[in-house]
Amino acid sequence: MRYVSTRGGMAPATFSDILLGGLAPDGGLTVPEAYPTVAPAELASWRGLSYPELAFAILQKFADDIPAADLRALMDHTYTVAAFRTEAITPVTPLLDGVWLLGLSNGPTLAFKDIALQLLGHLFEYALLQTSGHLNILGATSGDTGSSAEYAMRGKRGIRVFMLSPYQKMSRFQTAQMFSLQDPNIFNIAVRGVFDDCQDLVKAVSNDAEFKARYAIGTVNSINWARVAAQVVYYFKGWLAVTERDDQEVSFAVPSGNFGNICAGYIAKRMGLPIRRLILATNENNVLDEFFRTGVYRVRSTEQVAHTSSPSMDISKASNFERFIFDMVDRDPAVVRALWRQVDAQGYFDLSATPYFQTVRESGFVSGASTHQNRMNTIRRVYEESGIIIDTHTADGVKVGLDYREASVPLLCLETALPVKFEDSILEALGRPPECPAGYEHLEALPQRFEVMNPDVAAIKAYIARHAG
């Protein structure tokens, strides 16, 4: 399996070559030269596999340059009951008639990003041990991604994490999650400012090529290919859990921001998984819903991004979208380059009058947007009918999923976080707080370890230089 860039300017590379990188050198995203396929007989043979076994069977197709025994060991060490609190890793629970919840939020930070990032932690450590290298991960977070990255990288040899967050602006739960980590390789930097200041600082440090190379600065953002590949696994796991016939179609409803999660669903479909519809749900920040309805991909400015009660989907653009568009334009990198040139210059592109939009319409995607009121109503309805409390992001997916439900097709709704992370919204919807999973009750009382700093590039660089591996 070799990987190329969506913009055509990268020599074909292996999985290990692209593992630690972010953008391709030409500014594009890395994608497989061709998707691996899973024949019906092979799919049928996967019934009964444990999560780590299934993950190995699928990841082996993408990471064929990692020795099989090593890859198997990585899966066994990642997808454990200790890390995910359940043998199934991604359990399926009946929600409504013909509708299931695919539980993706049982990892250490109680959100679906753990499924990919926990693997990334093990993969990075493995790759760095092979080369005796080290890596200093620099990131900015307003909550979820940062804590998921820290829990993935804590205690990993060769890796240090420098995570910038806005001082006193995250929820108490999120703050406690990150700042209570006592691992010596995790550095929490609380910046006197807002999230955008943190992001600007990361950009400023990363733009200093000499500093970046000297301190082996890396990232773990959502465009990392290994993250997408790891997410393909649970689409297969969900399908296997609710079907009996090997050609039975199911639909998936996915709350979407950066198009990372649902991109993996699209790839699973391309590999041969019988998926009928990929139902994409946005919140009020409806960049992707607009595209699937009209063919216009229009990014928003920072000021245009609404702060919603499903905050992990408050995006101005969808960073993984270029992978999908690459396929829709017949994998012609010249077309991709032209489209993103137009995004950079004019803030949008429009496929509606091109034959490519017909390809989009045939891709299996449908979409919708959900509002605060929709989320509240959906959380209430699901609770009344099933006794299950879902979080606000999951509720966006369920809302739009139900709009597109077909009677004879099982619908799997992806649960992207546990409700305890968004207690205020649950109180508003139900008048009662969500349950706190065992082990998380005293999180906010734990001692916290963090450094408060001004939004000063030189000071941040000096701090990294003092503590880098």
Ligand X SMILES: *Cc1c(COP(=O)(O)O)cnc(C)c1O
Q: Which SS3 state, helix, strand or coil, does residue 446 take? A: coil
Q: Could you tell me how many residues make up the chain?
A: 469
CB of residue 312 to ligand X, shortest distance in Å: 3
Cβ distance to ligand X smaller for residue 204 or 436: 436
The one catalytic residue among 113, 156, 237, 399: 113
**Closest residue to ligand X, based on beta-carbon distance:** 260
Closer Cβ to ligand X, 298 or 461, answer by number: 298
Residue from 66, 38, 33 nearest 54 by CA: 38
Q: Taking the CB of residue 138, how many other CB atoms lie within 10 A of it?
A: 25
Minimum distance from CB of 95 to ligand X (Å)?
A: 17
**DSSP sequence for 356-385:** HHHHHHTTTEEEEE--HHHHHHHHHHHHHH
Of the candidates 328, 284, 272, 245, the one whose C-alpha atom is nearest the C-alpha of residue 58 is 272
Burial classification of residue 422, based on how many CB atoms lie within 10 Å of its CB (0-12 exposed, 13-18 middle, 19 or more buried): buried
Give SS3 for 162: strand
The distance of closest approach from Cβ of residue 102 to ligand X in the complex, given in angstroms and rounded to an integer, is 13
Measure the CA–CA gap between 186 and 449, rounded to whole angstroms.
9
CA–CA distances in Å: residue 103 to residues 42, 113, 181, 223: 25, 12, 25, 23
Q: In angstroms, give the least distance from the CB of 453 to ligand X.
A: 26
Q: What are phi and psi of 419, to 5 degrees?
A: -60, -25
Of the pair 63, 313, the CB lying nearest ligand X is at: 313
Cβ atoms 275, 235 nearer than 8 A: yes
Class of residue 432 by CB neighbours under 10 A (exposed 0-12, middle 13-18, buried 19+): exposed
- Minimal distance in Å, beta carbon 114 to ligand X? 10
The minimum distance between CB 318 and ligand X, in angstroms, equals 7
- The single-letter code of the amino acid at 336 is V
CB nearer ligand X, residue 113 or residue 405: 113
Interacting residues with ligand X (CB under 6 A):
111, 113, 144, 222, 255-261, 312-313, 393, 416-417
Annotated active-site residue 113? The verdict is yes
* 51, containing H or E segment: helix 51-62
CB atoms within 10 A of CB 445: 8
* Distance in Å, CB of 421 to ligand X, minimum: 8
Indicate the residue among 32 and 260 with the shorter CB distance to ligand X: 260
**From CA 352, how far away is CA 85, in angstroms rounded?**
46
Q: Which is nearer to ligand X, 158 or 419 (CB)?
A: 419
Element (H, E) at 297: strand 296-298
Q: Which is nearer to ligand X, 109 or 251 (CB)?
A: 109
Active site residues: 113
